[in-house]
């Protein structure tokens, strides 16, 4: 998933970019992920018989408000345009989808939500989903199966919703031709409805992971008559336990109870709180400190970004305020292979100050492991291999050798340019660290500072005058297979779809990836690791970290669990203890 904001990535989530039972928060923490512990492999589990209501959380108080702090700015909550992990998780409060994940004992379980889990035809090219009856929007109007079909059609308007997932363009029938309901006014051959409860999806090639894909917000129903395009995110049609009361784009979002949400039809979500307030753009170290101190209303708050290394010593005696768990994400800096020659990319990797960037970002063993591959260890098919020179994820960099490599290639003074957030301390520290190292290695470093609110838009513009660090700056599994990594990030079409590491345009690689996607998981899983190494040997990105979840919450916030599909707190469980 670019999912995905934790990575300023998708998702995905993608990620964006980077993924328990009841009891105390500490007892539900995944200790294997803390303090440098081994990241374990995720599973694919389904429960087709799951029904509402969700199991109650012992001791959960009804009422009150939780404040959610985060430095990274959520730029949209439009379900069609959502792929970053933070907006995805917010979507679980606002939007119900055909299928969804329940989190059980730290592992994601795919369950029915608005529909069943679907039935595939013998050839795998047609899927049929049955809509649950008597489910309403927040305004009391009934959800119609036509609304599900319209939402799918809307997702093809990628010129309008450029940040959303794109698997439908590859797998759905005529997905490479259909441009959405605004441009193509006629019917779309990939989706149809029958009667009042049957949604049918036609594929151009088998896609066995479709029920997992349909957990994304882009599949939430949208009535065509209510579609106001870019304005839709301001007052979206909520189907989950909360609805939008107010939304200041890029700054604050306040959710309040959706009185037409029926818990008896929902197997996963809760509605314990009166409201949830999201506040963006404040320094994470500052708000993490506030949450740990838990003075006044900050006792009812959570910061959703991983704890900064400077605050780790303060966890002594406050371990119950730390949520730990798995994340399906790898963080990396993409290199535009269209603009940066291979020999320059190799020199860039050799010069890269891994240790300095690690320190400047505030990474620590609670929150991350050093990365040297594309897929993280949590994804089936991950293979630990010997990385190419400069891609180990370790060390201070070798500026002298990098300078020699540039001179030998006749590329001394080659400009490396990227965007960074000039309104926040940490991104400035990181930019300075990188620029100092690259300049010492004979490059001309050109970090370009821009406001927080512009970072995702400009970083996602592949025609922008930069050649490094464009989004996604990481990736998170959309579901636990290589099928949610390589087809999205490395095929030629990924550039047009706006989700690419390296901006590769390699038809032979396209064919290799396409061939793997057609195999069942039992056959393809072992092959993704070899492809991982092949692509990294092209120097398409600088790998940085495999992410973990380690976030702090106020002392009055009740038990919350990690969402391993997002590497983010599972917001549907939010509640207060008193």
| Per-residue pLDDT of the chain in tens (578 residues, 90 and over written 9) | 644 444 433 333 333 222 222 222 222 333 333 344 556 666 668 999 999 999 999 999 999 999 999 998 998 999 999 998 899 999 999 999 999 999 998 888 999 999 999 999 999 999 999 999 999 999 999 999 999 999 999 999 999 998 899 899 989 999 999 999 999 988 999 999 999 999 999 999 888 889 999 999 999 999 999 999 999 999 999 999 999 999 999 899 999 999 999 999 999 999 999 999 999 998 999 999 999 999 999 999 999 999 988 999 999 999 999 999 888 899 999 999 999 999 999 999 999 999 999 999 988 888 899 999 999 988 888 999 999 999 999 999 999 999 999 999 999 999 999 999 999 899 999 999 999 999 999 999 999 999 988 988 899 999 999 999 999 999 988 888 898 999 999 999 999 888 999 999 999 999 999 999 888 777 888 899 999 999 999 999 999 999 999 999 999 999 789 998 888 999 999 999 99
d(CA 306, CA 547): 9
In a domain, 101, yes or no: no
pTM for this entry:
0.80
In a domain, 341, yes or no: yes
CB neighbourhood size of 451 (10 A): 14
Give me the number of domains the chain comprises: 1
User: 334 has which bridge partners?
Assistant: 541
pLDDT at 20: 23
pLDDT at 75: 84
d(CA 211, CA 118): 7
Q: Both tokens of residue 210?
A: 């479709």
Contact 434, 353 (CB under 8 A): yes
Full domain range(s) for residue 492: 327-548
Q: What CATH number does residue 354 fall under?
A: 3.10.105.10
In a domain, 465, yes or no: yes
In a domain, 399, yes or no: yes
Of 179, 501, 509, nearest to 336 (Cα)?
Answer: 501
d(CA 308, CA 286): 10
In a domain, 88, yes or no: no
pLDDT at 21: 24
Mark residue 142 as left, alpha or beta (left: phi above 0; alpha: psi -120 to 50; beta: remaining).
beta
Of 97, 85, 101, nearest to 2 (Cα)?
Answer: 85
pLDDT at 42: 63
In a domain, 335, yes or no: yes
In a domain, 154, yes or no: no
Q: Both tokens of residue 37?
A: 């512990």
Q: Both tokens of residue 523?
A: 């056959």
pLDDT at 40: 65
CA torsion 323→304→6→373, rounded to 10°? -10
For the four alpha carbons of 282, 283, 288 and 293, in that order, the dihedral sign comes to: negative
In a domain, 189, yes or no: no
Of 112, 44, 18, nearest to 374 (Cα)?
Answer: 18
Please, which residues have CB within 8 angstroms of residue 423's CB and are 6 or more apart in sequence?
281, 451, 452
Please, which residues have CB within 8 angstroms of residue 54's CB and are 6 or more apart in sequence?
102, 263, 266, 267, 268, 269, 270, 572
In three state form, how does the secondary structure of 217-282 look?
HHHCCCCHHHCCHHHHHHCCCCCCCEEEEEEECCCEEEEEECCCCCHHHCCCCCCCCCEEEEEECC
């Amino acid at each position: 998933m670019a999912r995905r904001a934790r990575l300023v990535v998708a998702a995905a989530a993608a990620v964006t970019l980077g993924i328990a039972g009841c009891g105390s928060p500490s007892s539900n923490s995944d200790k294997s992920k803390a303090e440098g512990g081994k990241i374990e492999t995720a599973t694919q589990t389904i429960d087709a018989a799951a029904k509402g209501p969700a199991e109650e959380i012992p001791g959960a108080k009804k009422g009150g408000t939780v404040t959610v702090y985060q430095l990274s700015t959520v730029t949209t909550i439009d379900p069609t345009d959502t792929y970053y992990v933070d907006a995805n998780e917010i979507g679980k409060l606002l939007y119900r989808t055909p299928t969804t994940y329940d989190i059980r004992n730290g592992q994601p379980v795919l369950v029915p939500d608005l529909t069943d889990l679907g039935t595939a035809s013998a050839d795998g090219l047609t899927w049929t989903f049955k809509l649950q009856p008597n489910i309403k929007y927040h305004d009391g109007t009934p959800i119609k199966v036509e609304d599900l079909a319209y939402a799918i059609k809307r997702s093809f308007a990628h010129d309008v919703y450029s940040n959303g997932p794109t698997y439908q363009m590859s797998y759905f029938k005529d997905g490479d031709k259909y441009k959405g309901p605004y441009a193509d006014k006629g019917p779309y051959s990939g989706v149809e409805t029958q009667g009042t409860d049957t949604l049918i999806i036609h594929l151009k090639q088998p896609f066995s992971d479709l029920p997992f894909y349909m957990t994304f917000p882009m599949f939430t129903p949208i009535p065509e008559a209510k579609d106001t395009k870019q304005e839709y995110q301001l007052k979206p049609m909520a189907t989950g336990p909360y609805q939008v009361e107010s939304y200041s784009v890029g700054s604050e979002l306040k959710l309040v109870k959706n009185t037409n949400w029926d818990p008896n039809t929902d197997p996963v979500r809760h509605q314990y709180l009166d409201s949830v307030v999201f506040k963006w753009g404040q320094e994470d170290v500052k708000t993490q400190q506030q949450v740990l101190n838990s003075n006044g209303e900050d006792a009812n708050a959570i910061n959703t970004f991983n704890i900064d290394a400077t605050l780790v010593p303060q966890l002594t005696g406050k371990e119950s305020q730390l949520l730990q768990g798995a994340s399906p994400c790898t963080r990396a800096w993409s290199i535009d292979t269209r603009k940066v020659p291979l020999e320059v990319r190799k020199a860039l990797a050799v010069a890269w100050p891994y240790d300095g960037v690690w320190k400047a970002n505030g990474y620590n063993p609670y929150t991350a492991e050093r990365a040297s591959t594309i897929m993280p260890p949590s994804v089936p098919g991950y293979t630990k291999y010997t990385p190419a020179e400069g891609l180990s994820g370790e060390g201070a960099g070798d500026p002298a050798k990098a300078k020699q490599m540039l001179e030998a290639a006749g590329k001394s003074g080659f400009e490396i340019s990227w965007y960074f957030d000039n309104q926040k301390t940490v991104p400035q520290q990181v930019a300075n660290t990188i620029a100092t190292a690259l300049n010492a290695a004979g490059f001309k470093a050109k970090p370009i500072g821009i406001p927080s609110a512009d970072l995702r838009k400009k970083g996602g513009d592949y025609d922008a005058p930069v050649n490094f660090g464009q989004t996604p700056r990481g990736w998170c599994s959309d579901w636990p297979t290589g099928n949610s990594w390589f087809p999205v990030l490395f095929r030629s079409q990924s550039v047009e779809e706006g989700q690419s590491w390296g901006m590769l345009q390699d038809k032979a690689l396209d064919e290799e990836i396409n061939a793997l996607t057609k195999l069942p998981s039992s056959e393809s899983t072992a092959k993704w690791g070899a492809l991982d190494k092949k692509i990294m040997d092209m120097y398409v990105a600088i790998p940085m970290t495999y992410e973990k979840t380690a976030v702090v919450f106020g002392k009055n916030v009740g038990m919350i669990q990690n969402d391993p599909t997002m590497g983010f707190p599972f917001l549907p469980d939010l509640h207060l203890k008193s």
